[in-house]
Chains A and B, each alone.
Chain A
Amino acid sequence: MQSAVSVKDLKIAYGDHTVIEKLSIDIAPREFLVLLGPSGCGKSTLLNAIAGLQDITSGEVWISGKNVTWEEPKDRGIGMVFQSYALYPRMTVRKNLSFGLRVAGLPKAEIEARIGRTAALLQLDKLLDRRPAELSGGQRQRVAIGRALVRQVDVFLFDEPLSNLDAKLRNELRVEIKKLHQSLGNTMIYVTHDQVEALTLADRIAIMKDGVIQQLASPSEIYHRPASLFVAGFIGAPAMNFIEGSIELKDDGPAFVSKGLNVDLAGYAFQAPPRGGPATLGFRPEHIALDGAAKGLPTLIGRVSVVEPMGADAVVWFDWADRSLSLRVMGDVALQPNEDIAPGLDIAKASLFGADGLRL
């Protein structure tokens, strides 16, 4: 199948400083791809390079089967939404929406028709004659999305579109973007540093660090089977718990050993046949059960330090072997600080990483 967007061996460098070194990625038609990573990881640079707003050092960019490496942004068949909305301040919403179409010299009737359709889709009908300064943040971002939509292109690029909004609006607009993708079926590439946006919106997430894609997989795969320590630590709130130790190959199979903890790894799905050596065991707060001992799981005996109720659930922090671990329980579980607990670890859902930080 032909990919909608394809980046081949992309390199971007400013002088001696290399932002992206030889990056390749293929994005399928109708796919929602999220580029996720900490600030400065090169995700926005990559998006700008796809848009044609960023000079590249070497490599190719293909959009809809066409090599657009040397094309101007307007000729690439893309629409883009920016973090700061980037609405033209002296133009009304109508003029903002029609600007690109007027530049392209489309007939008036066609422009009117497209604005009508877009405004209806995004509920902008009543705002068409207002200036951006007279709109709320959520309305501004809807206009910015509308400006990308009227171009009727195959590929939409979003550069942290929700970062400037407050939490409630962010949730609302996130749902709107997801609906939009489901109804339009365009290819969307979405840059964010917010893992909730990434997990909720994406078909696939590309996690980036230092200009390199660390893992490219579905949200579920990324959450449950992180490919490296970095990905495991970056995704999830509260963060994954880590315990350093080593893998020992015993007569009855491999085991993870650390400070009195001895976990039988028979239930763990190794990537490759296990070998002995130093390793890190990672497990999410919800994969360690308060009533683990009763289920016969390996237990971590500790003492509760802090309980953070969050309504539906609560995060319990407990001390185990001079480190603080987190545990997610239902919101109605009553636990007090200094209470002794013995939660059990579900090794089938845990992750093991080797000394090089990669998944075992």
Chain B
Amino acid sequence: MASPHPNGPRPARLTAGSIGLYAFLVVAALFFLLPLYTMVVTSLKTMDEIRLGQIFALPATLDFSAWATAWSGACMGTVCVGIRAGFWNSVAITVPSVALSVFIGAINGYALSLWRPRGSSLLFGLLMAGGLIPYQIFLYPMVRAMANINLYNSVPGIVLVHVIFGLPLVTLLFRNYFVSVPEELCKAARVDGAGFWRIFFEIMLPMAVPMVVVVSMLQFTGIWNDFLLGLVFAGRDNLPMTVQLNNIVNTTMGERTYNVNMAATILTALVPLAIYFLSGRWFVRGIAAGAVKG
């Protein structure tokens, strides 16, 4: 066959290789969706149906009662009020923790981006290390410290703990973002008469909106999904959703209600999931903003 004379756009070609590649991607996507599928399907079945042991089968009838039970009737030990209380506890813990840690971290990052003393790279190394050290090491001293300032077992206490543990990473992210802002911008604002706070609120923070969104999402998912700190510092009345979920799933009395467990798990994971779906666009923009100046 004579090869055609090249002219205009190059024709798209479907080769065996590209078909194989797409086939692999589809299979991989299905494989990773399998647990979610199983959870959703199981949560919609009755216990009788679950006992048949066909975990991939679709439910015979759609039964939402497990969801209702998970939300407002599932038992933790002897208390049967569902995961609803945990949801509102998680909101009460996560929202102020995210807001405070992002706000303080942004101020810290801004201040540190202006302040470059000798050995500052060592300082940022330590800061980074602070973000990497396992929480477990801090637990005991932290419990003692919180007890000393009468914040142990309280919402302000757990919020403070989350803010403290969130700050190293948030500070570092903001500092690296603000360092990439041209120095002359600050100088221009100083000639215009703006001080530290006015430059921060009117110039730096508006520029950093994509960064604020990304960091807020990171903090939100991190704090919402936290189990250990919530269990240790929140106190019995303020246990977050993750801890209550664990209590529901691990209740050993009677039969294991798999449909309720699945529904409760999905409910707990729903909030971070929704945030990623709704703000994925911002997330990409924020990550890109770190690389592009101006």
Contacts and interface: CB of A to CB of B under 8 A. Distances in A.
Interface residues of A, number: 28
Contacts of A74: 190-193
Interface stretch (A86-94, A116-124, A173-181): A86-94
A83 B191 contact: no
Interface string B178-218: 00001011011111111000100011001100000000000
A253 to B, nearest CB: 56
A354 interface: no
Contacts of A104: 193
Interface of A: 48, 51-53, 72-74, 78-80, 82-84, 86-91, 99-100, 103-104, 133, 144, 147, 151, 159
Contact of A103 (B184, B194, B294): B194
A147 B189 CA distance: 11
Given A86-B185, A88-B185, A88-B203, A73 B198 contact: no
A307 to B, nearest CB: 43
A152 to B, nearest CB: 13
B194 A99 contact: yes
B191 A80 contact: yes
Interface centre among B188, B194, B202, B203 (most CB of A within 10 A): B188
B191 A84 contact: no
Contact of A89 (B191, B193, B194, B294): B294
18 contacts: A48-B187, A53-B187, A74-B190, A78-B191, A80-B188, A83-B184, A84-B185, A86-B184, A88-B185, A90-B207, A99-B192, A99-B202, A100-B194, A103-B192, A103-B194, A147-B192, A151-B192, A159-B184
B182 A103 contact: no
A87 B181 CA distance: 12
A146 to B, nearest CB: 12
Contacts of B294: 89, 133
A277 to B, nearest CB: 48
Given A82-B184, A86-B184, A88-B185, A73 B206 contact: no
Contacts of B191: 51, 53, 73-74, 78-80, 100
A80 B193 contact: no
Given A99-B194, A103-B192, A80 B187 contact: yes
A86 B185 CA distance: 5
Given A103-B194, A103-B198, A84 B189 contact: no
Contacts of A133: 294
A100 B193 contact: yes
A90 B206 contact: yes
A86 B203 contact: no
Contacts of B189: 88, 99
B187 A100 contact: no
Contacts of A88: 185, 188-189, 202-203
Contacts of B190: 52-53, 72-74
Interface centre among B182, B191, B202 (most CB of A within 10 A): B191
Contacts of A86: 182, 184-185, 187-188
A79 B184 CA distance: 14
A103 B188 CA distance: 13
Contacts of A99: 189, 192, 194, 202
Given A80-B188, A86-B185, 5 more contacts: A51-B191, A74-B193, A80-B191, A89-B207, A90-B206
Nearest to A104: B193
Contacts of B198: 103
Interface in B233-250: none
A83 B182 CA distance: 11
